[in-house]
Structure 1
């Protein structure tokens, strides 16, 4: 199916392109949010698989990656506030320009993308009535099994320091994420150490918004995913007690590939079927 490029712009002038895969007669529209440090183009196989099943898919591009016109640095910084309140509205506006108002709205994401999809839909319920999560969960260190939780706690304290020293997180060099803004890493690490969602400069209470959100949520757990084990997903979902929740676990046999955090992206057919199941 043909891939379209849609220009999007944020209120502060940041520009990027959405990758869009739109079937002839879509039954729903999905705004998909990537994992930390992952460009939108890597989710095109998922978009194609879902579009073949009738879903119009729009792949958001995180600030600082892929088609984004910005790159994190000492003089170019951002955090959750900019992603939630500037960039996602820009993608939503670009989608609305080419889709009818009657299509059901879904927002989903992988890893950090799933977390921020929950936060966005909680803050602005009109953005999506349904949330799809794949390999996602809160990074709170206590939501992980031992001994991993203790190594994570160290990492959560060290990574913001590294980002401050360099002016950004050199993720490719250290093997975690990409070139990430220090404000983003600070917001992420705050949740990881405290178990609470917050964003520097954001007036809204994310925890309260999550507690009152009422979306339908379908989560997919990858059986061998140590980045987002089922315990971390359960902790995230526990913040939304009023949501309608279903969870599917997929193993190597179901995926026909290793059921880890990233390999499913190469063969996403089983994930697409599970999300629509």
Structure 2
């Protein structure tokens, strides 16, 4: 199968620029917009995009603000949150997906935080996408995690926003969580962790209502030993939506790598195969 590898520039409504990494089969069965985990540049999902393209699925890898090819970097002077991602960036990447799909069904999905925001974005336009794919994702809501981790998370969701406000950005590389992240983004994320309600500060749209209206099928994959996104977290996220949800839990033997939050990215064939089988 012939697959073209490209980079396509996208521009957000506020002038933010980034490159989408594309893998484009000649006659795609479907076209996927994929959203990375927090602090992870799009290029780290190229092996995953190649694996999906081998199944005939065109893939666009979105780039978060502040990462990789993004024209912005978080600082005291440059801040953003869920509103800028959902209202400025993802509509632009979604338009590129529509342009390259050639009439094929449109899919959206993501890893970790990327999966959460894929759900929120799909909920804002519930007739655009035909399926939702989530890998090693789930709500950060503390009650969806097993004890004793759940109790520690209530402290994390208070400490990290405070640290981000104090420093102007979250120094994620130093604390071992994400990259240098915008303080508004961390505040929006932590608010969900404490309340289990998705909202974007400064955005009028009701994200929870959008999720509740979303009735497209969900194909989800959880890694068997992923403490950052356990089965309970994924189920709590998919329970917000009305569509039928299929859950696969992958052990290390199936992946060919440790069944944790990130190792699957270097050995993505099993994950790609599980997702691709949903496209008939």
TM-score after normalising by structure 2: 0.96
* Structure 1 residue 82 corresponds to structure 2 residue 84: yes
1:1-80 pair list within 5 angstroms = 1-80=3-82
Runs of 4+ in structure 1 deviating by more than 4 angstroms, as ranges, are none
Partner in structure 2 of residue 250 of structure 1 = 250
Q: Secondary structure at the match of 2:235?
A: helix
Deviation at residue 97 of structure 1 after TM alignment:
3.0
Q: Counterparts of 2:94 and 2:136 in 1: how far apart (Å)? A: 23
Partner in structure 2 of residue 200 of structure 1 = 201
Q: Counterparts of 2:149 and 2:250 in 1: how far apart (Å)? A: 22
* Structure 1 residue 211 corresponds to structure 2 residue 201: no
* Structure 1 residue 269 corresponds to structure 2 residue 269: yes
Given that 2:42 and 2:62 are in contact with CA atoms closer than 8 Å, whether structure 1 keeps it comes out as yes
Partner in structure 1 of residue 95 of structure 2 = 93
Deviation at residue 95 of structure 1 after TM alignment:
2.6
Partner in structure 1 of residue 112 of structure 2 = 111
Q: Secondary structure at the match of 1:273?
A: helix
Deviation at residue 208 of structure 1 after TM alignment:
1.0
Given that 1:121 and 1:129 are in contact with CA atoms closer than 8 Å, whether structure 2 keeps it comes out as no
Which segment drifts farther, 202-211 or 257-266?
202-211
Partner in structure 2 of residue 223 of structure 1 = 224
TM-score after normalising by structure 1: 0.97
Deviation at residue 126 of structure 1 after TM alignment:
3.5
Q: Counterparts of 1:96 and 1:180 in 2: how far apart (Å)? A: 29
Given that 2:132 and 2:216 are in contact with CA atoms closer than 8 Å, whether structure 1 keeps it comes out as yes
Partner in structure 1 of residue 124 of structure 2 = 123
Q: Counterparts of 1:191 and 1:173 in 2: how far apart (Å)? A: 23
Partner in structure 2 of residue 157 of structure 1 = 158
Q: Counterparts of 1:216 and 1:199 in 2: how far apart (Å)? A: 24
Structure 2 unaligned segments of length 5 or more: list them: none
Given that 2:21 and 2:42 are in contact with CA atoms closer than 8 Å, whether structure 1 keeps it comes out as yes
Q: Secondary structure at the match of 1:87?
A: helix
Deviation at residue 127 of structure 1 after TM alignment:
3.3
